[in-house]
Structure 1
Amino acid sequence: MDVKTAFLNGHLTEDVYMVQTEGFVDPKNSNEVCKLNRSIYGLKQASRSSNIRFDQKIKEFGFIKNEDEPCVYKKASGSCVTFPILYVDDILIIGNNLPMLKDVKSWLGKCFAMKDLGDAAYILGIKIYKDRSRRLIGLSQSTYSDKVLKRFSMQDSKRGILPMAHGTILNSSQSPKTNEEKKKMERVPYASAIGSIMYAMLCTRPDVSFALSIKSRYQQNPGESHWAAVNNILKY
């Protein structure tokens, strides 16, 4: 679901004033300013105030905020459980009971101007696929992975079996020592590759976390051996 004009939903706790909007200036009081009752786009507290408003309303319906992930909420009733997941103005609702899902949508629709986008197929560029016959749900970043491979000219590389080859040893002694070696490695997008892989790791690929943690140690002064090891993750 999409929250329309989400940043206009927040209530301000501070006194905020603005000049009268062009085209709506009161001729009799042109020197006066307007006091805002709600947040508007452009205010530094707009996103926070809208998030606080959502938090209040979703809790009124009986949801509990996850302590580790503050944008994830949960409501359980017997064997029925529902999870609304908020990202700025997008809400992904997951549950195992259709009537409860409809109730949540109805409640949110009463609190905010909403647009129901139907069954979720993508969220933040992550594909959501479902196998109803096996009662499975999964996430895929294949499109993102393809873009990353093209960015680092690895799209035609032979696919690797492991994110880190058995027996691989990396240490600081493999870092560039001469000025010539350092200049050569300065042209290598080592940190960019690490960051690109890290996003996939956080979202859908925890299997590369150990290998990535090892390679991340050498971002300050990577050598050819370190870069080859990063390429091994990309191939995988």
Structure 2
Amino acid sequence: MSNSKLEDTGSPSRTGLHNPYPLSSVISYKFLSPSFRAFTTSISIHTEPKSHIQALKGPIWREAMEQELTALETNETWSIVDLPPGKKPIGCKWIFRNKFKADRSVEHAKARLVAKGFTQRKGIDFHDTFSPVAKMISIRTLLAVAAIKGWDLQ
């Protein structure tokens, strides 16, 4: 039995369960170029924590979490307030990702604290919605298309 988590031979596991649709029947690394195969292998060896409990055990992830909290405070994204009577707080979750350089080495560990917004109800938990900011490349593209098509913009 292979130790690789990337391979699934379809054989029964140690727990006695059998996977009738092994991943190896539809995905193969043999058609990848040697450099891309090395790239995919190098990425897959870097694990990311699935919970904040796991992340707190590693100094790299702990630092990433501290940087995220510092950024939230610096940007005044949040403030600690008293919860109104009869209300429950909206939960949050840590998301962890490795960010890679072009040479396939890990640039840094990234941690994000995100709200579980799917539990919110309009008019009860919030009144305003977030309005995304347009990127300059989008505005330039729109202006270029408008100039080519002769559209009037206001």
> So what's the TM-score if we normalise by structure 1?
0.20
Structure with bigger gyration radius: 1
Q: Provide the TM-score with structure 2 as the length reference.
A: 0.27
Structure that is richer in strand per residue: 1
Query: Where is the helix percentage greater, Structure 1 or Structure 2?
Result: 1
